[in-house]
Structure 1
């Protein structure tokens, strides 16, 4: 058995509704695992930058996902988002915000802020102005955050992270992978029972 540290990669997108639905289960799982292995967050990059308003059919489709997640998991959504904003299929800005917050040690706080803004407060995290407001609200150094958000360094870091996420199989969100040495094991997402995933991780760790 390798002495190399095992890592659990959590591939997510801050504007992925299924990630929002999974959040309560994930937080319990993360708490149970924090002493067992290293947990690494990776942004997934669901949708590239776009200034084009989302077509009506796409709006209806994504709104239907919200309804489905609501009925399956009891997740709360504020459906006013669709009438109080001009939605765009653009999650890269929010992904960059995660990297900027990470550099200040606050990725998880920023993720929660973006998710709550989007799904509960009907604010649009595709807008840079919203992301800057959220950085201020959670107490980040806003000047540093704003400077990094549009920087070539963060853009490069984003492209590298997306590339790495894809290289281990992170093509849908949320995704979980246990990685140790050359071994990469994808775990099925159980949205309602973190104990199932916990048992699967124990089994994987015993084998690699």
Structure 2
């Protein structure tokens, strides 16, 4: 029986997580079938209704530019900045992922993709509950139950627990990967361009640890 699990620590509104999505999908395809994959939301930016300050907008836009220049095939819909009042709050989107999982386990990655598509391709604002509800409806969830769960104490508690678990693994940036093998935690270096480097690192850790 395999004793390894891979933890993917992310935020659905993190642009670098969006940039990592293709490499992450390729890595998942090549991981051993009996390895558990666990998602944790890291919670990039806490709740606020305040517009994003200009300096923060500039910082996020610069990240988008760096990603477009360094990760082939990843593009952003820059209309987001003219169509919306940006809000530096990702906790609602994190809760949306947890609320989706509550309805249907496999809806967790589906909701992540739906939020990223709405934000980065359709220039919609996933800090707003109506955007998140539309994403839920799009992936076939009960949209009314989703909204109730989104503001429930149970989902808030789950968010806090996952953020705490991420910190206990010494995760402070997203995306991050942690391999848990024989109850030890190993950081896996993120590679946006070639998933095989991460796969090799995982195999090497398992091989070395298994023979010590």
Pick the TM interval, shorter chain: over 0.9
- In the alignment, structure 2 segments of 5+ residues that lack a partner are none
Asked if 2 retains the 8 angstrom alpha-carbon contact of 1:4 and 1:181, the reply is no
What is the RMSD of the two structures over their aligned residues, measured on CA atoms?
1.1
Asked if 2 retains the 8 angstrom alpha-carbon contact of 1:5 and 1:38, the reply is no
Q: Compared with structure 1, are the counterparts of its residues 80 and 34 closer, same or farther at alpha carbon in structure 2 (3 Å cutoff)?
A: farther
- In the alignment, structure 1 segments of 5+ residues that lack a partner are none
What is the number of equivalent residue pairs in this alignment? Answer: 206
- The match for 1:101 is 100
- The match for 1:167 is 168
Q: Structure 2: how far apart are the matches of 1:130 and 1:5?
A: 39
Q: Which moved more, 1:138-147 or 1:46-55?
A: 138-147
Asked if 1 retains the 8 angstrom alpha-carbon contact of 2:178 and 2:186, the reply is yes
- The match for 2:76 is 77
Q: Deviations over 1:129-186 (max 9, x none)?
A: 1001110111101122111100001001100010001101121100000012331100
- The match for 1:139 is 140
TM-score normalised according to structure 2 size: 0.94
Q: Structure 1: how far apart are the matches of 2:138 and 2:200?
A: 38
Q: Which moved more, 1:179-188 or 1:116-125?
A: 179-188
Q: Runs in 1 of length 4+ with deviation above 2 angstroms?
A: none
**DSSP 3-state at the match of 1:102:** helix
Instruction: Note the C-alpha offset of 1:34.
Output: 4.7
TM-score normalised according to structure 1 size: 0.96
- The match for 2:30 is 32
- The match for 1:57 is 55
